[in-house]
């Protein structure tokens, strides 16, 4: 079920009313409702893959309890490996089997060998990368004795399957979400109201920004070989906004929906396009994933507290793995590699933590010229890397880049269906300015003192959704495929 | 409160910027045919942000045209009958297909009898029930979309249902309906059989062709086509070969706009936010009609 679908529009109020008015007396029943609703939400797409979630839930619940009882390191390791093998096994099979088989066959034939590998016709279960990482974090935290396992199976099942963030995150940590699920929730008008505001803002990002730009981006990427560099720049920039609108929009709706149920999810985006270097970008883009990699891969590998050589290796590992996490395609690996290459100089010159304390315009109304230059440069680099992210294959990305830098000419872009381009420029300018205005708190997109201003903003955002709603586009979220 | 105010704000915005499509009203005439209420004016609006905006004008006869239909014995008049493509609410009525044809042929008045969803039964019944008027007309062109317009063998009133008639007083809701935002609700209502009943589709092509041919023959025998002053405007690419052969064998003229459309590969022939012909498409159709008359010298 999509957040931006009519089904969800009906589903959400029903679950909300049942949650606060029917099941509120018993925490167990309320959690059972979360599990039922979440399974219905997921099963709406394909009920067969519910078995994977159920299986993953059972394994990590049992392994968690066993890890607590077990004191011997060897047996604890064995239990951990069992959980890792089961969870990553599913992920590996459904997401990476064909990729590795094809890559292996290609590599073999490159060196003159002949080998036949059989690709399988596998459907990638929606959200598998997200809930797998979420359950893994639970087991890993128990293994590291940072967390006590829950004995309440229903609460654990609700933690794994909590529908607002089940299919595309934020990837929650058990330390944050499980305690909230394990204790009685009390309805708060303020929390629900701020949840609704986030939902509206998320819908705006998804419908008005991402979905409206999608047909233009699709056309430019599909026909990259026929367009001059000016159009290819436009395509890459628009894709940057499309993916940001799509994914951060999803996250906002997820966080907002969770708020309606009295649950606070972690923030996933903090205005990443106002970043002044790549390190800041990664602190503000898909935060739940980058912190996951930091906590469960980077730090266990030694993090930054080791030799420079090893730190560089660690940086490469997390960025490459992050790329591969996004999709079973070399384009994602290259995308990750580019970000590693952009990050390493910052680390070497000790600039990677430069902007932690002072986000852009923290003390001033406007950014300084230097900040503006850095923001533009960072955005340009990120946009270039998006070409690999969006391209269908490496050959496609090199064609795109090749033309981008060889056919240096300007020609007005005309979409085959004749979309009026000026509308999109105005939309994006409005969006950037608005994001800058609200930059201090990503969870309060309508934080204005005056009632009139607040109302005007609600109305304008809803108007934006209506004006740019396109009934003809595929409305699913890009990150569902990861 | 905020919701209500937001609704008012959006309603006002839609009205002030005229984002909504105007739809001229219908009435049932004495011949049990639906017609547009005469002398209405408005604008056809397509796209969320008024990407296409064109005026229409319903004349005294109830059709969208810049002309009043007053056929004479002396003048040269051609009637073009058809569906929404001929009605042309999506275009500026001052630049319709008929107007384009008039520009290409001298001293000819074109009367466009177009109504949305007007099939061949409607068209032939209209001529049949208004014999006197159409006798004065020098030539009649019926527009035929083979797969849509031969589903009936005789005329009967098709009720014209307005979706959510009461809600149509709100221009915001009209606008939301037009841009497809309420489609999911409509789909569900359709599933629950509230509103329109789904049309039974004939699966088999051969059966379809036989039924269409039979319907045409029945319509012809019931309402009659005057071969000498009649042509059928169609797209041969979308029309059954046996049907085309039948028309040829019986001396019924055809005007094919399909070839022109086929050649126009680099230029779209339909609108962006609507499947109707754009200005280029209408030019192609008009040119075919002009060439037809010039080639056959039927108006001299």
Residue A276 in this model has a pLDDT that exceeds 80: yes
3-state helix, strand and coil shares in percent for chain A, rounded to the nearest 5? 70, 0, 30
Global ipTM: 0.76
pLDDT tens digits, one per residue of B15-26: 999 998 888 888
Q: A169 vs chain B: nearest CA distance in angstroms?
A: 26
Hey, are the CB atoms on B10 and A468 less than 8 Å from each other?
A: no
Residue B298 in this model has a pLDDT that exceeds 80: no
Q: A44 vs chain B: nearest CA distance in angstroms?
A: 16
Residue B196 in this model has a pLDDT that exceeds 60: no
pLDDT for the residue A120: 64
Tell me how far CA of residue B121 lies from CA of B64, B112, B148, B218, in angstroms.
20, 17, 11, 10
Hey, are the CB atoms on B180 and A469 less than 8 Å from each other?
A: yes
Residue B293 in this model has a pLDDT that exceeds 60: yes
Residue B194 in this model has a pLDDT that exceeds 80: no
- Residues of chain A in contact with residue B274, where contact means CB-CB under 8 angstroms, are none
**CA gap B288, B295 in Å, rounded:** 10
Hey, are the CB atoms on B180 and A417 less than 8 Å from each other?
A: no
Mean pLDDT estimate for chain A: 89
Hey, are the CB atoms on B268 and A416 less than 8 Å from each other?
A: yes
Q: Count of residues for chain B?
A: 300
The predicted model gives A233-260 an average pLDDT of: 95
pLDDT for the residue B201: 58
**CA gap B161, B32 in Å, rounded:** 15
Q: Of A239-253, A412-426, A463-477, B256-270, which one has max mean pLDDT?
A: A239-253
Q: B168 vs chain A: nearest CA distance in angstroms?
A: 17
Say which of B6, B175, B183 has its CB closest to residue A471.
B183
Instruction: Please answer whether residues A44 and A33 qualify as being in contact, where contact means their C-beta atoms are separated by less than 8 angstroms.
Output: no
pLDDT for the residue A109: 74
Instruction: Give percent of chain A with pLDDT exceeding 90.
Output: 63
The predicted model gives A33-46 an average pLDDT of: 91
Residue B106 in this model has a pLDDT that exceeds 90: no
**CA gap B141, B127 in Å, rounded:** 11
pLDDT for the residue B226: 87
Distance of CA A424 to the CA centre of its chain: 24
Ordered structural domains, chain B, with CATH? 2-161+196-296 (3.40.50.1110)
- Residues of chain B in contact with residue A455, where contact means CB-CB under 8 angstroms, are 2, 5-6
What values do phi and psi take at A199, rounded to 5? -60, -45
pLDDT tens digits, one per residue of A120-132: 676 767 788 888 9
What band does B14 get if pLDDT is binned at 50, 70 and 90? Answer: very high
The predicted model gives B115-129 an average pLDDT of: 93
**CA gap B49, A140 in Å, rounded:** 52
Phi-psi region of A193 (alpha: psi -120 to 50; beta: other; left: phi over 0): alpha
- Residues of chain A in contact with residue B6, where contact means CB-CB under 8 angstroms, are 455, 458-459, 462
**CA gap A264, A186 in Å, rounded:** 12
Residue B152 in this model has a pLDDT that exceeds 80: yes
Whether chain A has a CB inside 8 Å of the CB on B46: the answer is no
Q: Which two tokens stand for residue B221?
A: 């025998």
Nearest CA in chain B to A467: B48
- The ranges assigned to domains in chain A are 6-176, 190-276+355-481
Residue B273 in this model has a pLDDT that exceeds 90: no
Return the C-alpha torsion angle A166, A171, A174, A176, nearest 10.
-110
What band does A35 get if pLDDT is binned at 50, 70 and 90? Answer: very high
Number of Cβ atoms within 10 Å of the Cβ of B188: 13
**CA gap A429, A462 in Å, rounded:** 17
pLDDT for the residue B164: 67
Using only C-alpha atoms, chain B has a radius of gyration, in whole angstroms, of 20
pLDDT for the residue A411: 87
Q: A206 vs chain B: nearest CA distance in angstroms?
A: 15
**CA gap A96, A88 in Å, rounded:** 10
**CA gap A342, A382 in Å, rounded:** 10
What band does A34 get if pLDDT is binned at 50, 70 and 90? Answer: very high
Say which of A419, A462, A469 has its CB closest to residue B10.
A462
**CA gap A310, A303 in Å, rounded:** 8
Say which of A6, A7, A459 has its CB closest to residue B6.
A459
Instruction: Please answer whether residues A113 and A120 qualify as being in contact, where contact means their C-beta atoms are separated by less than 8 angstroms.
Output: no
pLDDT for the residue A122: 67
Does the CA dihedral B92-B98-B102-B104 come out positive or negative? positive
**CA gap A147, A205 in Å, rounded:** 36
Whether chain A has a CB inside 8 Å of the CB on B2: the answer is yes
Residue A111 in this model has a pLDDT that exceeds 80: no
Residue with the two structure tokens 């595309």? A168
Return the C-alpha torsion angle B288, B291, B296, B300, nearest 10.
120
Instruction: Please answer whether residues A186 and A171 qualify as being in contact, where contact means their C-beta atoms are separated by less than 8 angstroms.
Output: no
**CA gap A146, A136 in Å, rounded:** 13
Mean pLDDT estimate for chain B: 87
Whether chain A has a CB inside 8 Å of the CB on B8: the answer is no
pLDDT for the residue A91: 83
Cis peptide upstream of residue A170 (ω within 30 degrees of 0): yes
pLDDT for the residue B162: 66
pLDDT tens digits, one per residue of B203-235: 677 788 899 999 999 999 999 888 889 999 999
Instruction: Please answer whether residues B42 and B24 qualify as being in contact, where contact means their C-beta atoms are separated by less than 8 angstroms.
Output: yes
Task: Enter the DSSP assignment of B224.
Answer: -
**CA gap A312, B210 in Å, rounded:** 75
Return the C-alpha torsion angle B280, B100, B290, B67, nearest 10.
140
Task: Enter the DSSP assignment of B277.
Answer: B
Query: Among A2, A204, A418, A448, which would you mutate to test the B interface (most chain B Cβ atoms within 10 Å of its Cβ)?
Result: A418
B 270-289 residues inside an 8 A Cβ radius of A: 272
Instruction: Please answer whether residues A5 and B184 qualify as being in contact, where contact means their C-beta atoms are separated by less than 8 angstroms.
Output: yes
pLDDT tens digits, one per residue of A57-67: 999 999 999 99
Hey, are the CB atoms on A470 and B48 less than 8 Å from each other?
A: yes
pLDDT tens digits, one per residue of A304-324: 888 889 999 999 999 999 998
The predicted model gives A211-219 an average pLDDT of: 92
pLDDT tens digits, one per residue of A341-392: 999 999 888 888 888 878 888 888 888 899 999 999 999 999 999 999 999 9
**CA gap B27, B160 in Å, rounded:** 10
- Residues of chain A in contact with residue B183, where contact means CB-CB under 8 angstroms, are 471
Return the C-alpha torsion angle A414, A416, A419, A424, nearest 10.
-60
Contact partners, residue A86, CB within 8 Å, separation at least 6: A55, A56, A59
pLDDT tens digits, one per residue of B34-62: 999 999 999 988 888 888 888 999 999 99
């Amino acid at each position: 079920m999509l957040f931006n679908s009519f089904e969800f529009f009906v589903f959400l109020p029903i679950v909300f009313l049942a949650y606060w008015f029917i099941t509120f007396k018993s925490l167990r029943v309320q959690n059972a409702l979360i599990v039922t609703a979440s399974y219905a939400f997921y099963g709406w797409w394909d009920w067969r893959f519910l078995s994977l979630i159920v299986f993953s839930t059972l394994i990590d619940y049992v392994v968690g309890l066993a890890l607590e009882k077990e004191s011997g390191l060897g047996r604890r390791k064995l239990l951990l490996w069992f959980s890792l093998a089961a969870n990553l096994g599913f992920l590996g099979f459904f997401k990476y089997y064909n990729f590795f088989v094809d890559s292996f066959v290609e590599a073999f034939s490159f060196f003159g060998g002949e080998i036949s590998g059989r690709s399988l016709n596998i459907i990638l279960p929606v959200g598998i990368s997200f809930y797998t990482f979420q359950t893994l974090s639970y087991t890993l935290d128990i293994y590291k004795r940072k967390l006590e396992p829950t004995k309440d199976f229903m609460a654990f099942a609700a933690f794994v399957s909590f529908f607002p963030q089940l299919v595309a995150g934020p990837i929650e940590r058990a330390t944050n979400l499980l305690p909230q699920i394990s204790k009685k929730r009390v309805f708060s008008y303020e929390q629900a109201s701020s949840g609704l505001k986030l939902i509206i803002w998320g819908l705006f990002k998804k419908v008005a920004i991402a979905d409206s730009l999608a047909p233009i981006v699709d056309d430019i990427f599909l026909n990259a070989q026929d367009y001059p560099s000016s159009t290819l720049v436009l395509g890459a920039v628009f894709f940057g906004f499309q993916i940001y609108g799509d994914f951060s929009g999803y996250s906002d709706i997820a966080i907002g929906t969770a708020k309606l149920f009295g649950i606070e999810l972690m923030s996933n985006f903090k205005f990443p396009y106002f970043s002044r270097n790549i390190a800041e970008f990664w602190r503000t883009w898909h935060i739940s994933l980058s912190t996951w990699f930091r906590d469960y891969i980077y730090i266990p590998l030694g993090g930054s507290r080791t030799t420079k050589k090893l730190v560089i290796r660690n940086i490469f590992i997390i960025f490459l793995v992050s790329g591969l996490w996004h999709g079973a395609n070399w384009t994602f690996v290259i995308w990750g590699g580019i970000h590693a290459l952009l990050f390493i100089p910052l680390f070497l010159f000790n600039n990677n933590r430069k902007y932690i304390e002072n986000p852009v315009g923290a003390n001033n109304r406007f950014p300084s010229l230097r900040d503006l230059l850095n923001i533009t440069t960072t955005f340009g680099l990120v946009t270039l890397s998006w070409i690999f992210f969006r391209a269908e294959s490496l050959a496609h990305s090199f064609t795109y880049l090749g033309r981008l830098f060889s056919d240096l000419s300007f020609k007005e872009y005309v979409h085959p269906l004749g979309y009026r381009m000026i509308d999109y420029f105005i939309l994006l300018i409005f969006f950037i300015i608005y994001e800058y205005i609200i930059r201090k708190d990503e969870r309060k997109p309508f934080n204005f003192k005056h009632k009139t201003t607040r109302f005007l903003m609600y109305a304008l955002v809803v108007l934006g959704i209506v004006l740019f709603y396109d009934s003809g586009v595929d409305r699913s979220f890009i990150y569902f495929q990861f | 409160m905020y919701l209500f105010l937001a609704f008012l704000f959006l309603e006002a915005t839609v009205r002030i910027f005229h984002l909504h499509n105007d739809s001229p009203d219908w009435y049932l005439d004495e011949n049990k045919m639906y017609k547009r209420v005469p002398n209405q004016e408005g604008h056809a609006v397509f796209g969320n942000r008024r990407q296409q905006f064109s005026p229409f004008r319903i004349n005294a006869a109830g059709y969208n045209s810049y002309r009043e239909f007053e056929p004479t014995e002396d003048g040269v008049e051609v009637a073009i009958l058809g569906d929404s493509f001929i009605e042309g609410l999506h275009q500026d009525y001052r630049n319709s297909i008929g107007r384009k044809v008039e520009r290409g042929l001298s001293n000819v008045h074109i009367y466009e009898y177009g109504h949305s969803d007007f099939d061949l039964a409607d068209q032939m019944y209209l001529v049949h029930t208004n014999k006197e008027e159409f006798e004065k007309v020098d030539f009649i062109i019926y527009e035929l979309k083979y797969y849509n317009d031969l589903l009936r063998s005789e005329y009967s009133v098709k009720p014209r249902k307005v979706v959510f008639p009461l809600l149509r007083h709100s221009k915001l809701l009209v606008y939301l309906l037009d841009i497809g935002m309420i489609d999911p609700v409509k789909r569900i209502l359709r599933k629950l059989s509230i509103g329109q009943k789904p049309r039974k589709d004939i699966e088999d092509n051969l059966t379809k062709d036989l039924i269409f041919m039979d319907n045409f023959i029945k319509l012809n025998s019931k309402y009659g086509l005057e071969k000498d002053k009649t042509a059928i405007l169609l797209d041969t690419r979308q029309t059954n070969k046996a049907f085309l052969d039948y028309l040829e064998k019986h001396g019924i003229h055809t005007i094919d706009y399909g070839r022109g459309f086929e050649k126009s590969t680099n230029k779209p022939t339909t609108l962006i936010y609507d499947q109707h012909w754009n200005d280029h498409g209408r030019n192609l159709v008009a040119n075919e009609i002009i060439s037809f008359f010039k080639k056959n010298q039927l108006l001299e």
